[in-house]
Amino acid sequence: GNQKFMQELLKWTFKERGVLEAGQILHQGMGDAESRKGYRIKEEIESSIQIKEKVDGRWEPYVADDVQIEFTMLDPWIRRTMQMKAPGVYSTSFKVPDVYGVFQLRVEYRKMGYTTIDTTTEVPVRPFRHEEYERFIVQAYPYYASALSMLVASILLVAVLLFHEAPGAKTKKE
């Protein structure tokens, strides 16, 4: 009984068992074929990572159901459990939050008996450009109406001041 335990303990101690290796975190917009340098707020993105385990001296796909990814700036904004897409390849998709700045995609995986995985990738998130906003926002109709009413009132005031004659005022003809 103790011999088997000691053999497994020695394998673990000398990193012959329980060693995990993670590839780079890949990310792309939904429907895109390749990764982009940055994303826009409220955009749907997909991220994936490949994890391998060293078993008897060779690398094999790691199988687990508790691998999580975080989309963080200073604190995690989004934390998702990744689904296995293929043996050893984990993937998830999420919507970028409504905050712009430099975010990190981070996989930090700690499990008893295995080495720790801690890998990050920086992802810039930008706001909408001026031509990407809606032209007329329904919620702003009261402001549009008030601006239009002020314009009409100003034109009427100028017309009254220019063309109104006060009663009893002398004119140049008299």
pLDDT of residue 91 exceeding 90, the answer is: yes
Q: Are 90 and 27 in contact (CB under 8 A)?
A: no
pLDDT of 173 reads 61
pTM over 0.85: no
Our separate counts of H helices and E strands in the chain read 2, 11
pLDDT bin (cut points 50, 70, 90) of residue 83 is very high
Alpha helices (runs of H) in 75-169, residue ranges in sequence order: 141-163
pLDDT bin (cut points 50, 70, 90) of residue 125 is very high
DSSP annotation of 96: P
pLDDT of residue 103 exceeding 60, the answer is: yes
Q: Are 157 and 60 in contact (CB under 8 A)?
A: no
- Both structure tokens of 160: 């009254």
CA atoms in the 13 A half-sphere facing the CB of 94 = 21
- Both structure tokens of 108: 């930090």
pLDDT tens per residue, range 154-166:
999 999 998 887 7
